[in-house]
Amino acid sequence: MNKCFICNKNSSETILDLGMSPIANNLEIDIDQSQTAEKYPLNLSVCRSGCNHVQISEIIDQKKIFNDYFYMPSVSKTLTNHLKEISKEINKKFKIKSDTFILDIGSNDGTFLESASNFSKNILGVDPAKNLSDIANKKGIRTINDFFSHKLAKKIKNKYGSADFIISTNTFAHTPKINDFVEGMKELISDEGVIIIEIHYLGSMIDDNSFDTIYHEHFSYWSLNNLNNLFSKFGLNIFDAYVLPVHHGQLRIYLSKSKKYKKTKSLNDLLDKEEKEDLIGKKLKLFCKKVLKIKSNLLDLFEKISNDEKIVYGYGAPAKASTLINFIGENNLKYIYDKSHLKQGKYLPGTSIKIKDPSEIQYDKPDYIFLFAWNFSKEIIDDLKNNFNFNGKLIIPIPDLRIIDID
Ligand SMILES: [Zn+2]
């Protein structure tokens, strides 16, 4: 049994073993360093003390993971638009004034705050990655380069006052110190202020078989009921929640200290649905079984491609590519294409697979492209057809294995 991040008891039981994996986002320039990258056990576990928290069992020092970070939403049109929509939605629902204080925790390269700056000039970002904070600050998006904590929240409050809105997209699952993080948000949000958290949704992970979204930087995997129990302990009320289709199923929740916001039907429906489906019981157990089946199907496919002497390269080198490859092995993959210039020329962690510019597809002419970034399949299929003249077969591994002819 491992220690649970929420209740601190040694009652977290491993239910899925994904083998040994390196830190998913630490891309190396040197092939030897990549192949010998330190690997850590990657397991999913559930707390059996009654708190039901779903988490990974191994904690790696956050500084090792987030100091240099290569994930940027701004390289994807879908994600950039998604972040722009959030600021429009907040404005529509709550009316942003020009001095409304908007704080983004895990602000990355400042993409969200850039769009929020159309409504308010009083914006602030916090992000632990130095490279990304530098990019944001250079763009004029005021960003503190640090991990968000209760201590930092007090400092921000002293200097800038309470926040009217705290936004945190894809960050909350990235902290093992959950209680301190929530304490910090509670400290900083104004009495009638609204916190909006977007988080990868456990229900979607299970529905999509997206086990590849399990990696060491993702410490926790949240159901709405678990979030509800956590925040109510801190006197924060979730008043709205719904699942969005981006990012393989993103749960957006709205919280406040104030009880003036009425709980929505969507929130209550989702809470009921999870209970009825026995999400963290029966459904999660079935998911773990399916993951092992996906592995054996993919190994069969790679063997067939190799026997047919066909060439297969990958597309998209997000963190989840690292989980998938370290789980099923490199097989005969030599290259992965990725549009991010920060990633090109580097190696997928723990492997000898080199990342290169997708503009080379037209010269490489692979027979198959294995889509690691399967959640952006529509955007990528358009690119492959229209920009990279690819006319081979596309392998989409998840939610279910599909092979599509591109021509
Ligand atoms: Zn627990």
Say how far apart CA 178 and CA 196 lie, in whole Å: 16
Q: Residue 145 Cα, ligand 1 centroid: separation in angstroms?
A: 30
Q: What is the mean pLDDT of the chain?
A: 92
CA of 348 to the centre of ligand 1 (A): 33
Taking the centre of ligand 1 as the mean of its atom positions, its distance from the CA of residue 399, in whole angstroms, is 29
The CATH number given to 60-277 is: 3.40.50.150
Rounded to the nearest whole angstrom, what is the distance from the C-alpha of residue 151 to the centroid of ligand 1? 24
Measured in angstroms, how far is the CA atom of residue 380 from the centroid of ligand 1? 40
Ligand 1 centroid–CA 202 distance in Å is 16
DSSP letter, residue 281: I
Rounded Cα distance between 387 and 9, Å, is 53
Per the structure block, which two tokens stand in for 319?
């963190």
Ligand 1 centroid vs 279 CA: distance in angstroms? 16
Which three-class secondary structure state does DSSP give residue 401?
Answer: coil
The rounded distance, in Å, linking the Cα atoms of 320 and 361 is: 22
Q: Where are the domains of the chain?
A: 60-277, 302-405
Question: What pLDDT, in 10s, does the model give residues 21-49?
Answer: 988 877 888 999 988 988 999 999 999 99
Just give the CATH number of 302-405: 3.40.50.720
8 Å CB contact between 176 and 149: no
Element (H, E) at 337: strand 335-337
pLDDT truncated to tens, each residue of the chain (407 aa)?
A: 899 999 999 999 999 999 999 888 778 889 999 889 889 999 999 999 999 999 998 777 767 666 666 566 666 677 788 888 899 999 999 999 999 999 999 999 999 999 999 999 999 999 998 989 999 999 999 999 999 999 999 999 999 999 999 999 989 998 889 999 999 999 999 999 999 999 999 999 999 999 999 988 889 999 999 999 999 999 999 999 999 977 678 899 999 999 999 999 999 999 999 999 999 999 999 999 999 999 999 999 999 999 999 999 999 998 889 999 999 999 889 999 999 898 999 999 899 999 999 999 999 999 999 999 998 888 899 999 999 999 999 999 999 999 999 87
Q: How far is the CA of 48 from the centre of ligand 1 (A)?
A: 7
What confidence tens digit (pLDDT) does each residue in 263-309 have? 999 999 999 999 999 999 999 999 999 999 999 999 999 999 999 99
Instruction: Report the separation in Å between the CA atom of 300 and the middle of ligand 1, taken as the mean of its atom positions.
Output: 38
Please tell me the distance from the alpha carbon of residue 306 to that of residue 285, in angstroms, as a whole number.
33
Whole-prediction pTM: 0.89
DSSP state of 374: G
Q: Are strands 354-356 and 250-256 parallel, antiparallel or unpaired?
A: unpaired
What is the rounded distance in angstroms from the CA atom of residue 276 to the CA atom of residue 274?
6
- Centroid of ligand 1 to alpha carbon of 108 (angstroms): 30
| Domains 60-277 and 302-405 alike in fold | yes
Q: Which residues pair with 44 in a beta bridge?
A: 16, 56
Cα-to-centroid distance, 55 and ligand 1 (Å): 10
Measure Cα distances from 75 to 27, 151, 343, 365 in Å: 17, 32, 11, 24
Q: Which of 399, 400, 40 has the alpha carbon at shortest distance from 216?
A: 40
